[in-house]
Amino acid sequence: MSDKKQKQKRPSLIERIGHKIPDPTIIFMILFAVTMVATLFLGGTEFSTLGKDGGTITHQIKNMFESENMRWIINNALLTNWLAYGGGVLGTILIVMLGVGLAEESGLLSVLIKKVGLKVSDKYLPFVLVFLGIMSSIASDAGYVILIPLAGLLYAGLNKNPLIGMAAAFAGVSAGFSANLIPATPSDIILGTNAQAFAAAQGIPFVTAAGAAIKPATMHYIFIVVSTIALTIAGGIITVKFVKPKLEKDSYIIPEDLNLDEFTVKPEENKALKWAGLGFIIAIVILGILYFGPLAPYQVLNETTGLMETKSPLVDNIILVITFAFLVPGLFFGFKSGKFKNSSDVVAAMSKAMGSMGSIIVLSFFSYNFLSLLSYSNLGTYITFLGAKGLQSLGLGEYPILLLIGFIITTAIINLFVGGMTSKWLLLGPIFIPMLYNVNSSMTPDLVAAAYRVADSSTNIITPLMSYAGLILVYMRKYKPKYSVGDLIGLMFPYSMTFLIMWSIILIAFFVFGIPLGI
């Protein structure tokens, strides 16, 4: 029996390899140095890619040891490449923690978790978490900073390993990023409008296989609705059949500041919860007044396209909206429950939340500087270029399904090393939309874009280079202090491969049976 147990506990190949991988912060330090050395040998190398106008864009890898480029590293290390990276990703994480941290310190989230835990069966909880993770993509990156830690707290409240819930939520948030039930999400807009531009630049008809005109914002709506349902079911099954049995007997700790001795809702907590509900209504009313008042959507001229487009300050800054929506109910709950006595207690609660983000600040400095270096030196573009060129040389024109699979695999592999949905699409889209169509006319722009979104999402959860990988580790180490990036990759690998294979099969089925991808 002991031999059997020992055999069951033996880590998988992926986990054994993963255990050799150092902490993400160290990885980015190493990669920064490796990239610098690579540019020393590859500096001056030129290569060309297709542009939106159909012409070629010549790129040259920069030798980062040259004085001009060394000055760029020093001059941009703090502001542009760290604090302003990705439009201020670090600020997004920190500002959300103000509202979420206050709501957590007030006790509001714990009470809500108790409420949910008493009503949601453990049998269905994994499916709910995967689904909520998928749907959270509409709120920018809120799923990473809100849902995943809440999933851990929920499972802890149910006296189950918190990593089970966090894995399910992470799978939905990251691997299911491109799916949703809501049409015209930011991802849809980015993929659709650029696909239209790529096609127009080289005279590729922007129509479906049936000859119908493609609407950029909803060109995948039917496909992503089906995908959302399928991924939710698959993610839930993986959690129940693979992740739960693996983790339910593992040891974990409950942080000292997390009291789970009484998993019941007290009468005074119910009263405070009603006040929190009032606070939420007030927050919504205030946001509504702002939305229809001084922060109402407005029309602005796009100087690039020459067309009018709608801007919405609140929707464009959804993170601030989410923070406010947590902050007000948290205040109401905290003061009614007696957790907050005065304004000093409120500030202390937010400060405590900020204190837990120390490791994220350290990680982000090295990771964002590395990613900026990869982009500025053109080495990242070169890596993607080589992958695209390799697929182009396969000559699979007579086998459209293999051509489609080849593009999915290539993009999925590139996604392990070069993050950012938009940046990769702006590089791969101009190449593959015209190239695949010219090789086989059944490879329409909407089909190629759908293949891209499948591949771009599925492998997010198994690369330590993903921007939020370090954040997820911080959350998990709250319950398992020595949890490594290798453990995380091993845990999420079944989700990634299942999503990639199943999602690809769904897309191929749409293609083979001529089912329209969108509306």
According to the model, what pLDDT value does residue 6 have? Answer: 41
Look at 326 and 198; give whichever has higher pLDDT: 326
Is residue 169 a contact partner of residue 130, using CB atoms and an 8 Å limit? yes
* Average pLDDT rounded to a whole number, residues 332-350: 91
Cα torsion angle, 9, 13, 17, 23, sign: negative
Give yes or no for residue 123 having a pLDDT over 60: yes
According to the model, what pLDDT value does residue 87 have? Answer: 62
- Max mean pLDDT range (235-239, 323-327, 364-368): 235-239
Average per-residue pLDDT for the chain: 82
What pLDDT band is residue 375 in, cutting at 50, 70 and 90? Answer: confident
Q: Between β-strands 308-311 and 298-301, what pairing exists: parallel, antiparallel or unpaired?
A: antiparallel
- Max mean pLDDT range (105-114, 338-347, 363-372): 338-347
Give yes or no for residue 7 having a pLDDT over 50: no
What pLDDT band is residue 397 in, cutting at 50, 70 and 90? Answer: low
Give yes or no for residue 260 having a pLDDT over 60: no
According to the model, what pLDDT value does residue 275 have? Answer: 95
According to the model, what pLDDT value does residue 5 have? Answer: 42
According to the model, what pLDDT value does residue 168 have? Answer: 94
Give yes or no for residue 448 having a pLDDT over 90: yes
According to the model, what pLDDT value does residue 498 have? Answer: 95
According to the model, what pLDDT value does residue 281 have? Answer: 96
Integer distance in angstroms from the first to the last C-alpha of the chain? 57
Each residue of 470-505: b (16+ CB within 10 Å) or e? bbbbbbbebbbeebbbbbbbbbbbbbbbbbbebbbe
* Average pLDDT rounded to a whole number, residues 118-132: 83
* φ/ψ (deg, to 5) at 322: -65, -45
According to the model, what pLDDT value does residue 72 have? Answer: 95
* Average pLDDT rounded to a whole number, residues 246-268: 75
* Average pLDDT rounded to a whole number, residues 357-376: 82
425-444, pLDDT tens digit by residue? 776 787 788 778 877 788 89
- Max mean pLDDT range (16-20, 194-198, 234-238): 234-238
What pLDDT band is residue 141 in, cutting at 50, 70 and 90? Answer: low
Look at 116 and 217; give whichever has higher pLDDT: 217
* Average pLDDT rounded to a whole number, residues 225-234: 95
C-alpha closest to that of 166 among 153, 176, 179, 180: 153
According to the model, what pLDDT value does residue 408 have? Answer: 93
* Average pLDDT rounded to a whole number, residues 283-289: 94
What pTM was computed for the model? 0.65
According to the model, what pLDDT value does residue 2 have? Answer: 41
DSSP state of 132: H
Q: How far apart are the C-alpha atoms of 503 and 509, rounded to whole Å?
A: 10
According to the model, what pLDDT value does residue 321 have? Answer: 83
Does residue 301 sit in helix, strand or coil?
strand
* Average pLDDT rounded to a whole number, residues 21-29: 76
* Average pLDDT rounded to a whole number, residues 132-143: 71
How many C-beta neighbours within 10 Å does residue 162 have? Answer: 26
- Max mean pLDDT range (39-48, 133-142, 390-399, 461-470): 39-48
Give yes or no for residue 245 having a pLDDT over 70: yes
According to the model, what pLDDT value does residue 398 have? Answer: 72
* Ramachandran area for residue 340 (φ above 0: left; ψ -120 to 50: alpha; else beta): beta
* Average pLDDT rounded to a whole number, residues 263-286: 88
Give yes or no for residue 16 having a pLDDT over 70: no
Give yes or no for residue 187 having a pLDDT over 60: yes
56-80, pLDDT tens digit by residue? 778 899 999 999 999 999 999 998 8
